[in-house]
Amino acid sequence: MAPKFKDGEVVLAFSGTWVSWAHTIVAYTAFISALIVGVSLHYHKIVQNEYYGYPQEWFPSVSATIGDRYPERSFFMVFIAITSGPRFTLVALWYLLTARPNSSLPKFVAFMGIFRTFTCGGWTYVTSTDDHAWHDIFMISYLVATIPWTFGCVALSPNNPRAVKYRKYIAGAFFGTLVPLIYYFIQHKVHRVPGAYTTYSFFEWALILFDVAFDAVTALDFGTFELVVRDIKGISKGKDKPINQVFGHAFSWSEAIDAVADVYNGFVFWSMLTSLGLLVWCYEVMVMVTISPFLLAIRPIRSLVVKNLRAFHFVALTGLLAYLVNDPVYRLFTVGFAIWISCLAWAATFYSEGFQAARLESKMSAWLIGLVASSVVKFANYTNNPIWPTSHAANGGWNGIGLILGVLAVLRSTRKAPITGNDLAVNGRKEGSSVLAALGIAGLVFGLHSLLSDSSTMILWVWEGYPIRGPISVPHGALTIATMGAGVTIGLFREDLARSWTFYGVGCTGAAMLTLFSHWTGYYGALLLATYLMAASVPLIGSAARKNPAITFGLGFLVYNFMVLFHVWVVAYAFVPGGPFVREHTDWVMTTTMLLIGCGVFSAVSSSPASQKKQSNAYRSPRKQRSYYLYSLGFLQLLSVSIAFLRFPTNDYVPYHKDDKIFTAGIWTIHFSLDNDMWSSEYRMRDVIKELEIDVIGLLESDLQRIIMGNRDTTQFLAEDLGMYVDYGPGPNKHTWGCALLSKFPIVNSTHHLLPSPVGELAPAIEATLDVYGEMIDVFVFHSGQEEDPEDRRLQSEYLSKLMGASPRPSILLSYLVTKPLEGNYNTYVSETSGMHDIDPSDWDRWCEYILYKGLKRTAYARVSRSTITDTEIQVGKFLVGTPAEASAEARDARTEESQVPAGMRFPAMFRGEGVRGHRYHVFDEPRYFA
């Protein structure tokens, strides 16, 4: 049966009311019957979770009810199978009711309806007991598909006010329920709050009720056996609906592929730009490669670039070949050349399409969605980008595939030559101040790069330690990505709003909240700022594209480069002339960024052409191509939600030797997770930490959330892969090089400290309390000041000594002290004030790393060489919990042979002799054991 269109009339010779009610009744029966049977037969078992049971938890979750026990599982499966028939029929009828000539949206919604029906069968018949991974995959797919199905049904609803009202109410309730659902799940899974899972279960059941109720509303649309919708003005074809101005066209695979190719080109640009900082070490001048658009001031060069955009974009792909260059310097020059060409090509692309509204919008959309794609890819890869020049096959790189896709994308996206007119003479295109537009581009690109090139950056700005009182990188990184997508959509559909001073005020408010506040308050500001930056990109780039490109993009990138240096100097003030003037002034960086963007807003508002003002709202000038970019954006949003679900912390971590009640603690300076050959070192670090069976480790020089470090977070990969809790330490807005703590044991509480540093760089420290086999133990992770600043180090030693001495619990210091054993500040750290003891006072060959302890039985100590991972070794010690500490110095110094130590308390034998992969016991060539 197919819909017939004639004179605005659509005739469906079928009644769907009974289908809608049958679907609703049988679906509810499936869940309610399982609940009744489950509560009757296995109540105490289905309310039990991994932490608590009855009476703390007293109501079962949906998954426990329908999948864990027989026979309730069978009741559910039988009735949900019966539901499938009405369900498929309902989807088909909905398509017949909403189908319109040359419109792709109804087909897409119908496809999502069928897809989620199949995935429902997947998580129903493959339970978590059968195959946990596939059960989760089907469940995630179902939940993700519900989003476009719900919004699509609302957008396509016939002119039935009652049905539309119910759909909006129920959809709002459904998505509103997700907020407390996630909150209480985190309370249960992360904080282990008794009763939280019961509350979570109520919201989970509410989702089921709303989900089925939403589809039940179709009964109001399927009113008779012969459903006739008559519209003599063609309103039923959706001509006057804004949503159909974009989506109301026949789907074209050719145009969809064009959009995907454009977005991938944008992704490649951001991938290369964000990789430059990783390679710049000691060659800071290379940050200036982005100023190549200055060449567009020369008319022959401008004409050459505009007429050969395909060639220039193709040459820019040399940056994706950089992973084949082993020498770090030559690899840097390769990437620098590629970025030089890429910035030139993109500036010329924007400029050449400057007065072709639809074409310019497509390129801007590609560039912005390319940034979203970059963030999503990094979200999926633990903040690393698999096509960066620091990646290769051994550490998770996909460089070869990235290059092949890049070649195909360039060939596809540049097949349409730009409309060049009279060689795009600059003199005929001036609209307002090009300098103000350039300043706007500078602030915009810096804001996008420094804050939005990774979904966890702003989350770590507001992170203050345990207990968790704000967002965490996973899953809330998906929320950052969602607001980025919302910003792009606002910019495209409401460009007049995006360029307004009112909306600029919203962006400034968000920037202030992010800068001044922590926890959720600061993050709400971050979401406002993310939305604003993405939305404002549309009018600001559009304004710059209609002006002199040598100024708007050349000068814009030059000022952006100074902003990049500025935001590094606030931390690295000790290494640059005049650095102390800007030390610790991230607030100045943020203020400057927003002022620069304000200049761009002024230029966009004052110079907007009349034609653009008439089309300020996107739906006033329908552009079919826009739909494909929004499809791409929607796909990325759904992908980020799926990634967040799959990466959600399990918090069920197990120490290596729990039966022996022993734990291994270590300290390692990781040199920003780049090895000596400038390859990303996370995988190599993971391997040696796992093989050494380290339960608690402090990492120093670990804050990578800056442009110069690639906006990364090594602790995400290590924590998830090794199964550890993590405290990132002082965030990127705290002006340190970072310290982090990874632990197999729950982190009960943690406090971040910035130690006195009147001359040199700020010294970070973490003070954390761990639940180690039921005993509370304090762990301090600390990086002291530089050798050149003795007064800083003296003040820091006094501060930390008092801090450790104030702890009444057993304690461990994992540190970088910059002192010789038994001399100087060493005697402040190891003193009666601190109460701390050196793990091995006889180890005279130390300068930086030290492990100190008190109130614990120390059993072993080892030093392990770093291979080429960093410039500092690993130091590790073993401690026994539940055994009294040594009473005297003589007892502490008493050693024993390894053969006298139980096997579970020994260090691994693989690091003896030559060791493995360049890691071996060194200095004294074997572990030391203590009686």
What are the residue numbers of the active site?
783
Gap between the Cα atoms of 333 and 346, Å rounded = 20
Q: Do residues 603 and 431 touch, judged by C-beta distance below 8 A?
A: no
Answer for the pair 847, 819: CB distance below 8 angstroms, yes or no. Answer: yes
Query: How much helix, strand and coil, in percent to the nearest 5, is found in the chain?
Result: 60, 10, 30
- 567 near 707, Cβ under 8 Å? yes
Alpha helices by DSSP H, 224-297: 242-247, 253-279
The tokens for 622 are 């329908």
Q: Cα–Cα distance between 634 and 150 in angstroms, integer?
A: 13
9 DSSP β-pair partners: 6, 230
Structural contact between residues 695 and 905, judged by C-beta atoms closer than 8 angstroms: no
State how far the Cα of 119 lies from the Cα of 100, in Å rounded to an integer.
27
Q: DSSP characters for 686-751? A: HHHHHHTT-SEEEEES----SGGGTS--HHHHHHHHHT-EEE--S-GGG-S--EEEEESS-EEEEE
Residue 262 Cα to chain centre, angstroms: 23
Residue (of 233, 336, 325) closest to 284 by Cα position: 336
Q: How far is CA 635 from the centre of its chain?
A: 16
Neighbours of 94 (CB within 10 A): 26
Q: How far apart are CA 255 and CA 287, in angstroms?
A: 36
For residues 922 and 875, what is the distance between their CA atoms, to the nearest angstrom? 10
Look up residue 584 and give its two tokens. Answer: 């610790």
> How open is the CA angle 443-445-451, to the nearest 5 degrees?
90
Per-residue H/E/C for 659-691: HHCEEEEEEEECHHHECCCCCECHHHHHHHHHH
Nearest by Cα to 917 from 684, 692, 693: 684
Q: How far apart are the first and last CA of the chain?
A: 85
Return the structure tokens found at 789. Answer: 């600043």
DSSP string for residues in 56-72: T--S--HHHHHHSSTTH
Question: If you write DSSP's letter for every residue of 290-355 in order, what string do you get?
Answer: GGGGGGGGSHHHHHHHHHTHHHHHHHHGGGGGGGG--SHHHHHHHHHHHHHHHHHHHHHHHHHTTT
Q: Checking phi first, is residue 228 left (phi over 0); if not, alpha (psi -120 to 50) or beta?
A: beta
Tell me the residue type at 694: I
The helix or strand, by DSSP H or E, that contains position 138, with its residue range, turns out to be: helix 132-156
Token duo for residue 64: 């426990």
Residues 311 and 303: their CA atoms lie apart, in Å, by 13
Q: Across-strand partners of 895? A: 930
Determine the Cα–Cα distance for residues 669 and 698; give it in Å rounded to an integer: 8
Neighbours of 464 (CB within 10 A): 18
Contact between 667 and 814 under an 8 Å Cβ cutoff? The reply is: yes
Q: What are the structure tokens assigned to 814, written together? A: 């994992």
Instruction: State yes or no: cis peptide before 3, omega within 30 of 0.
Output: no
Q: Read off the DSSP letter of residue 607.
A: H
Left if phi > 0, otherwise alpha if psi is -120 to 50, otherwise beta: which for 588? alpha
Residue 357 burial class via C-beta count within 10 angstroms: exposed 0-12, middle 13-18, buried 19 and up: middle
Are the C-beta atoms of residues 789 and 757 closer than 8 Å to each other?
A: yes
